[in-house]
Amino acid sequence: MRFSLSKNINKKGVDWTSPQTLAILLLSLLLGLAFLYFVWQLRGKVGL
């Protein structure tokens, strides 16, 4: 399943210049940063 999926992606290629791809990348980056910030705040409150 995973192998065929990656093969399809490699065959088709990712259009990095498309606004949709950039928006998804930006959104995932923001979500990652928010998650890290949340974990950091939680760690500060708990005192780990």
Measured between its terminal Cα atoms, the distance across the chain in Å is: 40
Alpha helices in 1-48 (DSSP H): 2-12, 19-46
Percent of the chain with pLDDT over 70: 62
* Domains identified in the chain, total number: 1
Q: Which residue has the tokens 């928010």?
A: 34
- Higher pLDDT: 21 or 26? It is 26
Q: Which of 25, 40, 9 is nearest to 48 (CA)?
A: 40
The predicted-structure confidence for 7-16, as pLDDT tens digits, reads as follows: 555 556 666 6
Domain that holds residue 9: 2-46
Residue type at 30 in one-letter notation? L
